[in-house]
Amino acid sequence: MSSRHPFDLSLTLVTDAALCGERGVAAVVAEAVAGGATIVQLRDKLASTEQLLEQVAELAGVIDGRAALVVNDRLDVVVAARERGIRVDGVHLGQSDAAVLAARDALGPDAIVGLTANTRAHLDAVARLPRGTVDYLGVGVIRPTSTKPDHPPALGVDGFAVLAAATDVPCVAIGGVGAADVPELRRAGAAGVAVVSAICAAPDPRAAAAEFAARWAASAGIEADGGSPTASGAPRPAGGVPRVLSIAGSDPSGGAGIQADLKSIAAVGGYGMAAITALTAQNTRGVRGVHVPPATFLADQLDTIADDIEVDAVKIGMLANAEVIDTVAAWLRRIRPPVVVLDPVMVATSGDRLLDPDAERALRDLLPLADLVTPNVAELAVLADAEPATTWAGVIAQAETVSAGFGVRVLAKGGHLDGATAPDALVDAAAATIVEFDGERIATTATHGTGCSLSSALATLRASLGAWEPAVAEARRWLRESLRHGESLAVGGGHGPVHHFAGLWSRGGLATAPTPAEVEAEWWAEIADVRRAIDELPFIRALADGSLPRTAFEEYLAQDAHYLRVYSRTLAEASRLAPDAPAQAFWAAGAQRCLDGELALHRDRLHDLRGPRDQRARPFEPNAANTAYLDHLVASGSRGGYAELIAAVLPCYWIYDDLGRRLVTGGFGPEALSPEHPYADWLAMYGEPAFELATRQAIDTVAAVASRATPAVRARMLRAFRRSAEHELAFFAAPWPADRIEVDA
């Protein structure tokens, strides 16, 4: 049935006049179709028949054949529209609407007839209909949605998957669906998604539709059963799950080599196999030894696989010597696998050449047998007979040389260049094309095996998607997600592995720890209300514009000096508890800096407080806010250990650094910049690069610990952090008691 209809079910826009608002339904439809909506379903429960006919005519004009047009509920309107010569492609009917058999009869075999189904009984009824009666089923709701107040119970993605698996009619997911759900729904067997509010209520319906379309395209090849049928009869990935062979070395630590290849292949939807070229003794810090079994045994492995299994794609990694390379080349010439990706492992991260000259020569002969080579900057330079490129333009130029010289596509990789971005480019000299892929660099130490993982994912995705460009786009998306979560695995003390299954685990409900960057963003957002309240304090406002009375300023400094002395002790405690030497040294340096700061305060600014206690102009007592803050810091360390303690000390760095920089740079108004400002020299301390650097290190250290912590410990850390931020607010407010503290609990 499905192949009869040239309809693409991937994205249905169901219209809603109220949600489209003043823009009007036609304008929203025009934008959504331009963005990639493939079906428009006119749904208007309030319109009269005549009004519906007018709307159908208008939408048919707007759509102009670029998407299919169907009408919800009203078979009679579709029939009448067709009689008036208006192009309308079909109808969507609910369980209580007109019968689908009548619709098929009235509209003929080429029309679209969609039916709502959200129970097994509905599916059983569909199964009893003559084949071809219904083109697709609208299955929902996925989540509760206010768009259809009388909606059936929510199925969730899992419930959807169960129904979709129980019918061979394509299922379109509807109800509470957003663009972020697309990959999961596609994996659950959806032939498409249908949405109302996500597009009709979007500020930019074209962009909203485009996001759905992009996510749909990017998640091609991840369907649960190797590809849901589509009404367009689009080809499934060749033969379902691709069978992918890695010919590479073994990394017993699991981050690179065949171990990484097998994980990558599985993660992106392939069946992985491995023929081992060499055994290494290595971990995340380096390689200690290599053992190369006889090349004849590699030949045995390859032949044994090929004698039994059809290989859809091959990824080639470490090839230890010329004999091994010649063995692989001979096998490729004989078997001719449809996809060959060669990661030319030739240069170690240290810059050392890994292959002897004979092997390098043999590798050059192997290159033309590959469909794609994926050299890093250093390897590309060797292949191009040039010095390593230092610019992205230089990398592209060398990739063009290699592509032309060896007659092979090159994936030029910018990961080893310096810079904020990490671009890649697919360079094909024969086709005279360069397709660039950009993206921000991901700051992580978990980079072990990145090249192996990318090349094996590429081989797999090229086999399932049938084209290089989407394969590279999807492999990059997957690898970037895996890179972002690598550190959370906490494997080894050197460069750890990427988290090959980060996406799958989180989508499957398995906890994937947040990355340090995510912790940082979440925690900063968590104290946004406290930060706003600090900014609004009259004390801070007056400090910024210079109108703060000197008595209040000195009271604040006196409190600060006391605070710093005890805070220094808590940092020393953090140093004592630190699990490694760098963290121990960092917190110890912080403790020293605080003591220096406290001594400087007494020496340079707290004139009234100098001298023996009984001779001071004003006696000093820590105020309640100060004492409470310090009690919290000490308690965090004794109750929660290192993790909670460092979370509790962090706001003192972070809030001061942020606030100080804004005070110095005029973030609170021009007065803060003026040299006449009475506290200008004191404010200037805040802008010191050393403090900024220390703050950065403190955030990174705490975020890394939180990222690796169990969810319970991470939650306790966040509570300690927030509580300290609240104490900061009270601390700032105290010198001027007129201030009122208002923070949402």
Ligand X SMILES: Cc1ncc(COP(=O)(O)OP(=O)(O)O)c(N)n1
One of 10, 35, 37, 43 touching ligand X (CB under 6 A)? 43
**Site mask for ligand X (CB under 6 A), range 322-361, x = bound:** ----------------------------------------
User: At closest approach, how far in Å is the CB of 92 from Mg ion?
Assistant: 7
Ligand-binding annotation for 44, yes or no, is yes
Ligand-binding annotation for 197, yes or no, is yes
Residue 191 interacts with ligand X (CB under 6 A)? no
User: At closest approach, how far in Å is the CB of 141 from ligand X?
Assistant: 9
What are residue 194's phi and psi, to 5 degrees?
-125, 130
Nearer to ligand 3NM, 48 or 146 (CB): 146
Nearer to ligand X, 74 or 462 (CB): 74
- Tokens 């601390």 label which residue? 731
Residue 497 interacts with ligand X (CB under 6 A)? no
Q: Which stretch binds ligand X (CB under 6 A): 15-23, 90-98, 312-320, 431-439?
A: 90-98
From 308, 290, 299, 353, select the one nearest 329 (Cα to Cα).
299
Grouping H, G, I as helix, E, B as strand and the rest as coil, residue 98 is coil
**DSSP E strands: which ranges in 260-323?**
271-283, 286-291, 313-316
Residue 119 interacts with ligand 3NM (CB under 6 A)? no
Nearer to ligand 3NM, 147 or 570 (CB): 147
From 551, 553, 594, select the one nearest 679 (Cα to Cα).
553
Residue 355 has which token pair?
Answer: 């292959």
CA distance linking residue 484 with residue 499, whole number of Å: 8
Residue 172 interacts with ligand X (CB under 6 A)? yes
One of 138, 237, 394, 449 touching ligand X (CB under 6 A)? 138
Residues 19-78 that bind Mg ion (CB under 5 A): 73
Residue 205 interacts with ligand 3NM (CB under 6 A)? no
Helix/strand number for the chain, H first, E second:
28, 17
Q: Which stretch binds ligand 3NM (CB under 6 A): 190-198, 320-328, 585-593, 623-631?
A: 190-198
Residue 114 interacts with ligand X (CB under 6 A)? yes
Per-state percent for the chain, helix, strand, coil, to nearest 5: 55, 10, 35
Grouping H, G, I as helix, E, B as strand and the rest as coil, residue 271 is strand
One of 59, 111, 161, 174 touching ligand 3NM (CB under 6 A)? 174
User: At closest approach, how far in Å is the CB of 2 from ligand 3NM?
Assistant: 21
Ligand-binding annotation for 148, yes or no, is yes
User: At closest approach, how far in Å is the CB of 14 from ligand X?
Assistant: 5
Amino acid at 64: D
| Cβ-based neighbours of 48, under 8 Å, separated by 6 or more | none
One of 53, 134, 163, 194 touching ligand X (CB under 6 A)? 194
User: At closest approach, how far in Å is the CB of 178 from ligand 3NM?
Assistant: 8
Can you name the residues that pair with 448 across neighbouring β-strands?
A: 497
Residue 73 has which token pair?
Answer: 């509920």
Ligand-binding annotation for 147, yes or no, is yes
Residue 5 interacts with ligand X (CB under 6 A)? no
Residue 314 has which token pair?
Answer: 């091959």
CA distance linking residue 544 with residue 660, whole number of Å: 10
Amino acid at 566: V
CA distance linking residue 194 with residue 31, whole number of Å: 16
Grouping H, G, I as helix, E, B as strand and the rest as coil, residue 28 is helix
Ligand-binding annotation for 418, yes or no, is no
Ligand-binding annotation for 146, yes or no, is yes
Q: What is the DSSP string of 232-297?
A: T-PPPSTTSS-EEEEEEEE-TTSSSHHHHHHHHHHHTT-EEEEEEEEEEEEETTEEEEEE---HHH
Out of Mg ion, ligand 3NM, ligand X, none, what residue 151 binds, judged by CB under 5 to 8 A for its kind, is: ligand 3NM
Residue 147 interacts with ligand 3NM (CB under 6 A)? yes
Ligand-binding annotation for 42, yes or no, is yes
Ligand-binding annotation for 8, yes or no, is no
The neighbour count for residue 49, using CB atoms within 10 Å, is 11
One of 2, 15, 116, 707 touching ligand X (CB under 6 A)? 116
Size of the site for ligand 3NM (CB under 6 A): 18
Residue 195 interacts with ligand 3NM (CB under 6 A)? yes
User: At closest approach, how far in Å is the CB of 177 from ligand X?
Assistant: 10
Residue 55 interacts with ligand 3NM (CB under 6 A)? no
190, 228, 465 from 193: Cα distances, Å = 7, 13, 20
Question: Residues 38, 8: contact at Cβ < 8 Å?
Answer: yes
Question: Residues 88, 81: contact at Cβ < 8 Å?
Answer: yes
Nearer to ligand X, 73 or 657 (CB): 73
Residue 148 interacts with ligand X (CB under 6 A)? yes
What positions carry a catalytic annotation?
Answer: 413, 447, 449-452
Residue 455 interacts with ligand X (CB under 6 A)? no
Q: Which stretch binds ligand 3NM (CB under 6 A): 134-142, 254-262, 302-310, 693-701?
A: 134-142
- Judge if the upstream peptide bond of residue 141 is cis by omega within 30 degrees of 0: yes
Nearer to ligand X, 152 or 622 (CB): 152
Residue 148 interacts with ligand 3NM (CB under 6 A)? yes
Ligand-binding annotation for 97, yes or no, is yes
Question: Helix 322-335 vs helix 357-366: angle between axes, to the nearest 10 degrees?
Answer: 10
Residue 612 has which token pair?
Answer: 């023996």
Residue nearest to Mg ion (CB): 94
What are residue 599's phi and psi, to 5 degrees?
-65, -40
Residue 14 interacts with ligand X (CB under 6 A)? yes
Burial class from Cβ neighbours inside 10 Å (0-12, 13-18, 19+) for residue 105 reads: exposed
424-428/409-413 β-pairing: antiparallel
Ligand-binding annotation for 178, yes or no, is no
Ligand-binding annotation for 41, yes or no, is yes
Ligand-binding annotation for 73, yes or no, is yes
CA distance linking residue 42 with residue 29, whole number of Å: 10
One of 92, 477, 722, 727 touching ligand X (CB under 6 A)? 92
Residue 13 interacts with ligand 3NM (CB under 6 A)? no
**Site mask for Mg ion (CB under 5 A), range 78-97, x = bound:** ----------------x--x
271-283/286-291 β-pairing: antiparallel
Residue 141 interacts with ligand 3NM (CB under 6 A)? yes
Report the first-to-last Cα separation within the chain, whole angstroms.
Answer: 59
Question: Residues 222, 187: contact at Cβ < 8 Å?
Answer: yes
User: At closest approach, how far in Å is the CB of 143 from ligand 3NM?
Assistant: 7
Residue 470 interacts with Mg ion (CB under 5 A)? no
Residue 308 has which token pair?
Answer: 């039994």
Size of the site for ligand X (CB under 6 A): 16
| Cβ-based neighbours of 77, under 8 Å, separated by 6 or more | 49, 52, 53, 56, 71
Residue 73 interacts with ligand X (CB under 6 A)? yes
Residue 526 interacts with Mg ion (CB under 5 A)? no
Helix (H) or strand (E) holding 413: strand 409-413
Residues belonging to the binding site for Mg(2+) are 73, 97
Q: Which residues bind ligand X (CB under 6 A)?
A: 12, 14, 41, 43, 72-73, 92, 94, 97, 114, 116, 138, 148, 172, 174, 194
Residues belonging to the binding site are 41-45, 72-73, 97, 116, 145-148, 176, 196-197
Q: Which residues bind Mg ion (CB under 5 A)?
A: 73, 94, 97
Q: Which residues bind ligand 3NM (CB under 6 A)?
A: 14, 116, 138, 140-141, 145, 147-148, 151-152, 174-177, 195-198
